[in-house]
Amino acid sequence: MKFRQVFLQSLKLPSKKATFSLNRVSMDIAIIYMFILLILVSIPAFIDRIVENSGVSAELNIAFLIIYFFIFYYLPMAIFVCIGISLIAYIGLGLAKLMERKLQFPLLWKMSVFIATIPFIIYTIIALLFPVDDMLLGAFFVYILIMLFFIISIYPKRRK
């Protein structure tokens, strides 16, 4: 139930009410939510592996195919997404300092995960229908940065 509420609030970002509602979500919920989103994103690639007629994945039974997919696709993707989210949060930390907002890295990391909801859903839908170009990933990176800028601007300035 909590993940459903987080999902619905993530779709409403960068509204002020959704931002402050997601601000109260604990970090463990945010991390599990990110892994759930990554499972969603990996569905098109998993389907491609199942229907593939040649190569290593064509010769494996379904149990080994799931293990193979998890080790060689999902885990590396999760690592790269965590690094990407951390990079975005560090950029957001620099933006927050430039905008004179008192925000911490964990909050920006958590907000970056929630902002990534819409790009992850769009990516999954497009990947199910068409081959995906890397330019789309760059566009999503820019989208997340822009949305993070709007979220940072919601918070009040530091007192001097």
Asked if 3 and 141 count as a contact pair (C-beta separation under 8 A), the reply is no
The amino acid that residue 100 corresponds to is E
Look up residue 18 and give its two tokens: 């959704």
Separation of alpha carbons 50 and 152, rounded Å: 42
DSSP-derived secondary structure letter, 60:
S
Span 46-54, mean pLDDT?
81
The pTM assigned to this predicted structure is 0.89
**94-134 confidence digits (pLDDT tens):** 999 999 998 999 999 999 999 999 999 999 999 999 888 87
Helices (H), the chain: 2-11, 16-23, 27-51, 62-69, 75-98, 105-115, 117-129, 134-154
Whether the bond into 14 is cis, omega within 30 of 0:
yes
Domain ranges within the chain, ordered by starting residue: 2-39+72-154
- Please give the residue that has the higher pLDDT: either 131 or 9: 9
Quick one: pLDDT band at residue 158, thresholds 50, 70, 90?
confident
How many CB atoms sit inside 10 A of residue 102's CB? 11
Token code pair at residue 66: 């799931």
